[in-house]
């Protein structure tokens, strides 16, 4: 795993020393992503480089890496899991390899297949290829957005990097909040690529290629989620589905264990991570080390299930326990790495978990992310199904009662749904033809956060305005998909990509130089799951039905049949206690709120008072205070006091200076 960065000046003659110095500053900002070594490629009017976390071919895999002629070069962040098989294919086609790293297959695949090279990669990646013959830069991001990649144009040059802070470092210009991006965050919880929270900084969408040359910038989609249309599902047999799922999940896990360093696993105590750990222990690595996150507050703690599973597997198990004070101390660091406002404190404990992994000298962990999205495990899928059932008889008194199976707290003492919650879930009830029916309630709920904004920070946007921008991400055949598949797409393309794999995934892991790998997100497994009849995923109100059927022999019944428990962390007690760090207290004061200009101090004061007086605050109020605190921290870190690292030890860097007659590699 690595951090990558580069500079492409348009139609100008750039000073080579300035390019090199600027690139050094960018890479210094990304040092946490790759502290082992690094490299640079310096060409006329072009520079790119990387910081490396050594995992495959530890001694020979230093980047940048070229083709045989030395006129095409690559740096990348990620892993190509099928590099062994792809290398054999390319060697048969006549390509000669000089290393044993997965990086080298990328440049030869580009030589062989052109821009279609990405179709042959099974992995998680952000790739930069410099084709000096064509004077063209090619950027590519993996199919589901596991690895980040951002870009901006400034003063006649295009800059790209794994993190936005590196772009700000390169340009030395003050960052500004994009208020439309801000509104997207509290509506969707994420930004819609290419928009980010910062003005003029863009995200390369998952499953996309970008080409950059003096002709300009062009983007090309090469992959997207595809579901059957018109109710025609190729896989309906439970037996057939189980057989294929076993084969594909075993293969996906096997490939993600390829490394020249030890590989551990996260163990949350739920079905998804427990099954991955069990597969690794049973089939591939009897000495597996597992890592769990526990909470001092029993309301959030899953320790009994974690301990049961670790004992069942016989792994060498490690636990970090987190309390509210720990979360408060870690939260500013979580915001620094996430580079966006947050609506949950959950990333902060995950930062502590990856730190535990690193302290035990593990660089790579497998996790269970993705199973809920591709096999329909979330309540939002069940809620959509229940509300569609209710909508067929909207005046029914008993149909809304089914929602209590998901949310028991909505019941009154007499066993009926409370009027408040009944009215809440009735909104848009009969609008089942709406293309985003499954998510409308959640998105409308998020729009209420605008009431805390200062007048100058408000923009006159409705949910329909945001949805208009969302349509840019929607496949043309979306309208012909089954309702469950529509909901799955929205969860995967928005929440999973922009939050789970980013704020809770890559950023919290790479903050401690740890690489996460996700067997459920092998694109072949995603494509297989898309072909399943919905009943094989959401059977009645049992989510991940076929996944529970796949390996029953590997898990205890208590884990196999355990209901989904969403990962949560404390919130109100983190930000509003006597132990809250002084910096957070200061950022919630009226003078800081006025100085930064995002929030109405009176509205924030009313919210904090309400939270202090209510022993059981609402989820919406807790999300609001998290959003407010995190945006204040973001402004403090990235706008008012931006201080990234500006120097890096170049002694561990491979520097390639191209002269177009012969390439020289000098290691300084």
Check residue 664 and give its pLDDT.
45
Place of tokens 């208590």: 558
pLDDT at 638: 95
What are the residues whose beta carbons fall under 8 Å from the beta carbon of 520, sequence distance 6 or more?
A: 249, 252, 272, 276, 368, 369, 370, 371, 374, 375
Q: What is the pLDDT of residues 381-409, one digit of tens each?
A: 999 999 999 999 999 999 999 999 999 98
Query: In this structure, are residues 38 and 667 in contact, taking their beta carbons and an 8 Å threshold?
Result: no
- Over residues 601-627, the mean pLDDT reads 92
Quick one: average pLDDT of 488-505?
97
Contact (Cβ atoms closer than 8 angstroms) between residue 328 and residue 575: yes
Give the model's pLDDT for residue 646. Answer: 73
pLDDT at 645 over 70: yes
Bigger pLDDT: 503 vs 563: 503
Give yes or no for residue 663 having a pLDDT over 50. Answer: no
Whose tokens are 């739920």? That residue is 270
Return d(Cα 145, Cα 472) in angstroms, integer.
17
> pTM above 0.85?
yes
CA distance 498 to 492: 9
For the segment 69-73, the average pLDDT, to the nearest whole number, is 94
Task: Report which of 138, 146, 123 is spatially closest to residue 56, judged by C-alpha positions.
Answer: 123
The β-bridge partners of 211 are 138, 218
Across 171-175, 435-439, 485-489, least confident range:
171-175
- Kindly provide the b/e burial profile for residues 258-286, where b requires at least 16 CB atoms within 10 angstroms of the residue's own CB: bbeeebbbbbbbbbbbbbbbbbbbeeebe
What pLDDT does residue 367 have? 97
Select from 3.40.50.300, 3.30.200.20, 3.60.20.10, 3.40.50.1980 the CATH code of 2-185+195-223+650-667.
Answer: 3.60.20.10
Q: Are 225 and 530 in contact (CB under 8 A)?
A: yes
**Ramachandran bin of 290, using left for φ above 0, alpha for ψ from -120 to 50, beta for the remaining angles:** beta
Pairing of strands 364-366, 263-266: parallel
Q: What is the largest CA-CA distance in the chain?
A: 84
- Residue 660 — very low, low, confident or very high, per pLDDT cuts 50/70/90? low
Average pLDDT of every residue of the chain: 93
pLDDT digits (tens, 9 = 90+) for 465-494: 999 999 999 999 999 999 999 999 999 999
Q: Which of 114, 196, 100, 97 is nearest to 148 (CA)?
A: 196
pLDDT digits (tens, 9 = 90+) for 344-380: 999 999 999 999 999 999 999 999 999 999 999 999 9
How large a percentage of the chain has pLDDT more than 70? 98
User: Quick check: 245 and 546 in contact, CB under 8 A?
Assistant: yes
Which of 15-24, 524-533, 581-590, 645-654 is predicted with the least confidence, judged by mean pLDDT?
645-654
What residues contact residue 85 under an 8 Å CB cut-off, 6+ apart? none
Which bin fits 105, alpha (ψ -120 to 50), beta or left (φ > 0)?
alpha
Structure-token pair, residue 248: 């594909």
Q: What is the DSSP string of 45-87?
A: TEEEEEEE---SSTTT-PSPEE-TTSSEEEEEEEEETTHHHHH
Q: Which residues in 314-429 belong to E strands, given as ranges? A: 316-322, 364-366
Q: Which two tokens stand for residue 375?
A: 């096999």
* pLDDT computed for residue 661 by the predictor: 52
Contact predicate 432/391, CB 8 Å:
yes
Residue 531's SS3 state is coil
Query: Tell me: the pLDDT tens digits for 77-117?
Result: 999 999 999 999 999 999 999 999 999 999 999 999 999 99
In angstroms, the CA 416 to CA 351 distance is 41
- Over range 138-156, report the average pLDDT: 96
Residue 179 pLDDT = 93
Q: Please report, for the chain, the start and end positions of each structural domain, with discontinuous segments joined by +.
A: 2-185+195-223+650-667
Does the pLDDT at position 234 exceed 80? yes
How many Cβ atoms from other residues are within 10 Å of residue 379's Cβ?
18
Compute the distance between CA of residue 467 and CA of residue 190 in angstroms, rounded to an integer: 13
DSSP code of 608? H
Question: How confident is the model at residue 566, as a pLDDT?
Answer: 81
Both tokens of 503, joined, read 């704020």
232/543 Cα distance (integer angstroms)? 21
| Of the candidate ranges 193-202, 269-278, 636-645, the one whose mean pLDDT is the lowest | 636-645
Mean pLDDT, range 196-211, rounded to an integer: 98
Helix intervals (H) in 256-319: 271-279, 303-313
Determine what percent of the chain is predicted with pLDDT higher than 90. Answer: 83
- Least reliable range by pLDDT among 119-128, 562-571, 596-605: 562-571
Written as six digits, the tokens of 540 are 């009645």
């Amino acid at each position: 795993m690595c951090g990558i960065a580069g500079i492409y000046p348009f139609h100008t003659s750039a000073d080579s020393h300035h390019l090199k110095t600027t690139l050094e500053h960018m890479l210094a900002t990304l040092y946490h992503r790759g502290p082992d070594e690094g490299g640079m490629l310096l060409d006329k009017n072009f520079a790119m480089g990387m910081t490396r976390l050594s995992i495959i071919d530890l001694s020979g895999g230093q980047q940048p890496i070229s083709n045989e002629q030395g006129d095409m070069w690559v740096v990348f962040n990620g892993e190509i899991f099928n590099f062994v098989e792809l290398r054999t294919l390319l060697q048969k086609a006549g390509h000669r390899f000089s290393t044993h790293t997965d990086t080298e297959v990328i440049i030869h695949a580009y030589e062989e297949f052109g821009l279609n090279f990405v179709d042959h990669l099974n992995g998680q990646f952000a790739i930069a290829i410099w084709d000096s013959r064509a004077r063209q830069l090619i950027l590519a991001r993996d199919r589901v957005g596991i690895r980040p990649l951002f870009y901006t144009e400034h003063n006649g040059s295009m800059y790209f990097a794994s993190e936005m802070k590196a772009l700000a470092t390169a340009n030395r210009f003050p960052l500004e909040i994009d208020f439309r991006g801000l509104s997207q965050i509290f509506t969707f919880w994420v930004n819609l690529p290419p928009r980010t929270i910062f003005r003029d900084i863009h995200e390369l969408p998952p499953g996309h290629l970008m080409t950059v040359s003096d002709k300009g910038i062009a983007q090309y989609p090469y992959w997207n989620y595809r579901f059957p249309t018109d109710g025609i599902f190729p896989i309906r047999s439970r037996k057939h589905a189980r057989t294929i799922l076993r084969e594909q999940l075993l293969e996906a896990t096997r490939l993600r264990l390829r490394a020249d360093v030890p590989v551990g696993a996260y163990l949350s105590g739920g079905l998804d991570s427990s099954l991955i750990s069990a597969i690794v222990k049973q089939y591939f690595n009897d000495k597996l080390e597992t890592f769990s996150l526990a909470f001092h507050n029993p309301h959030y703690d899953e320790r009994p299930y974690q301990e049961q599973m670790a004992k069942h597997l016989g792994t060498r198990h490690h636990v970090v326990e987190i309390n509210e004070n720990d979360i408060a101390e870690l939260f500013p660091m979580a915001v620094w790495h996430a580079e966006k406002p947050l609506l949950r404190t959950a990333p902060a404990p995950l930062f502590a978990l990856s730190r535990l992994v690193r302290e035990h000298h593990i660089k790579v962990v497998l996790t269970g992310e993705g199973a809920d999205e591709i096999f329909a495990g979330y309540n939002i899928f069940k809620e959509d199904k229940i509300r569609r059932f209710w909508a067929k008889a909207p005046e029914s008194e008993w149909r809304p009662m089914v929602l209590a199976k998901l949310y028991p707290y909505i019941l009154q003492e007499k066993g009926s749904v409370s009027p408040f919650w009944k009215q809440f879930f009735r909104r848009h009830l009969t609008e089942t033809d709406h293309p985003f029916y499954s998510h409308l309630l959640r998105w409308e709920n998020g729009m209420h956060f605008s009431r805390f904004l200062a007048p100058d920070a408000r923009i006159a946007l409705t949910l329909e305005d945001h949805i208009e921008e969302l349509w840019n991400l929607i496949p043309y055949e979306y309208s012909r998909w089954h309702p469950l598949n529509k909901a799955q797409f929205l969860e995967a393309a928005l929440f999973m990509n922009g939050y789970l794999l980013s704020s809770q995934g890559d950023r919290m892991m790479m903050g401690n130089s740890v690489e996460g790998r996700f067997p459920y997100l092998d694109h072949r497994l995603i494509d297989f799951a898309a072909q399943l009849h919905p009943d094989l995923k959401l059977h009645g109100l049992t989510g991940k039905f076929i996944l529970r059927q796949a390996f029953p022999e590997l898990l205890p019944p208590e884990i196999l049949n355990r209901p989904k428990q969403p990962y949560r962390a404390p919130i109100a007690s983190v930000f509003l206690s006597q132990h809250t760090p002084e910096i957070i207290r200061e950022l919630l004061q009226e003078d800081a709120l006025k100085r930064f200009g995002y929030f109405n101090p009176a509205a924030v004061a009313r919210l904090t008072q309400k939270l202090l007086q209510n022993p059981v605050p609402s989820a919406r109020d807790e999300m609001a205070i998290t959003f407010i605190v995190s945006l204040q921290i973001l402004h403090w870190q990235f706008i008012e006091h931006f201080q990234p690292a500006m120097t890096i030890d170049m002694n561990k860097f491979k520097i390639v200076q191209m002269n177009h007659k012969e390439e020289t590699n000098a290691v300084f």
